[in-house]
Amino acid sequence: MDIVGFLKSQFICHLLICYIFIVSGLIINFIQLFTLILWPINKQLFRRINCRLAYCISSQMVMLLEWWSGTDCTLYTDPESYHKYGKENAIVILNHNFEIDFLCGWNFCERFGVLGSSKVLAKKELSYMPIIGWMWYFLEIVFCKRKWEEDRKTVMQKLLNLRDYPENFWFLIHCEGTRFTEQKHQISMQVAEAKGLPKLKYHLLPRTKGFAVTVQCLRNVVSAVYDSTLNFRNNENPTLLGVLNGKKYHADLYFLLFTVGRRIPLEEVPEDEQECSNWLHKLYQEKDAFQEEYYRTGTYPAVPIVPPRRPWTLLNWLFWALLLLYPLFKLLINMINSGSSLTLASFAFVIVMASVGVRWMIGVTEINKGSTYGNNDNKQKQK
């Protein structure tokens, strides 16, 4: 291991990175709170400012993937469609198999200039999480309780609010509703059999209602649907902890932009909810075939393109590092010079609590600590 790799694996480096992320994130959340006064005066200005503030937070996560771990991200797509990415509103359908698939989604949003304005359909519990959850609140992210009878009205209203959004955005959606595990897959395929639907080998049965409502509410605002399938070479099993340790991964994303021939405008996605549901089920059968092809050949049937890294994620992180590390080191030196055992013990306690907090934040992304949604929910539907 070289000296750089050794330093990346050290816990003290991880603490400093997390210190910068947590403190800068809370500062930005505090600034976002004050932007609320703009909402009744100039809603579009409020939105533009919060896109930039949100970028300051989410780009730090992307910096870890791009610059700290040096993960390679290759895009497989149609070259004729490549120039459209980032220049139009789009619904992006993502598979949900890896602990860092959300981070890879953000990475491609960053490379096409829509990271600050990107939207997701997220579970309600995340809205209470400091920094990311609070950032999402000011970005008008669509939160749901995963109980469709309760969610439908709220989700529709949130989506309709995005119709006049002033920035180009990608609406990222995991139609499977939860991260893939063998247990969830087994239960999901039991439901597929009960409903007479073709079984999937590498995906869970898609939850079609959320997608259908998204298409319905964003029609004439969103130009296209992007189907994306993420994989990692050499059977890599990427984790956020691995990224934090500076481990390099190799991500391949198959990005299919639908329109005539190769691409279907959103207007051609069926408006009827049942027909839209059938369309999505067919799409997931095609995704499964692409996944099978990837496992067999190690590549996708499209042209590989590596979108260039932009410097802004690194520059943003360096700005916050310079701003926040100086007072931290100055405080630490003063504490050591004071010689007070109580002060040093207090500092050690803060370090321990910080390490626990860091581990908790990382644990949120771990597959074995994921939600039970999909384990019991489908069973209940079969009864």
Nearest residue to 228 via CA among 316, 109, 311: 109
What are the structural domains of the chain?
3-313 (3.40.1130)
- Position 366 scores a pLDDT of 58
**Tens digit of each residue's pLDDT (9 = 90 or more) over 25-42:** 999 999 999 999 999 999
Model pTM score: 0.88
Q: Is the pLDDT of residue 375 over 90?
A: no
Contacts of 226 (CB under 8 A, 6+ apart): 85, 90, 91, 92, 93, 170, 255, 256, 257, 258
Q: Is the pLDDT of residue 245 over 60?
A: yes
224-232 and 250-257 beta bridge pairing: antiparallel
Residue 286 amino acid letter: E
- Position 258 scores a pLDDT of 45
Write the burial class of residue 214 (CB in 10 Å: 0-12 exposed, 13-18 middle, 19+ buried). Answer: buried
Mean pLDDT of 342-360: 72
Q: Is the pLDDT of residue 73 over 70?
A: yes
DSSP 176-224: TSS---HHHHHHHHHHHHHHTPPP-SSSPPP-HHHHHHHHHHHBTTB-E
Give the number of residues written for the chain: 383
The C-alpha atoms of residue 287 and residue 200 are separated, in whole angstroms, by: 9
Q: Is the pLDDT of residue 149 over 90?
A: no
Q: Residue 341: pLDDT band by 50, 70, 90 thresholds? A: confident
- Position 332 scores a pLDDT of 81
- Position 371 scores a pLDDT of 57
- Position 356 scores a pLDDT of 73
Q: Is the pLDDT of residue 9 over 50?
A: yes
Mean pLDDT, all residues of the chain: 86
Q: Is the pLDDT of residue 199 over 90?
A: yes
Q: Residue 278: pLDDT band by 50, 70, 90 thresholds? A: very high
DSSP state of 132: H
Q: Is the pLDDT of residue 265 over 80?
A: no
Q: Which helix (H) or strand (E) holds 85?
A: none
Angle at 107 between CA 106 and CA 111, to 5 degrees: 115
Considering only residues 131 and 235, tell me which one the structure prediction assigns the higher pLDDT: 131
Q: Is the pLDDT of residue 262 over 60?
A: no
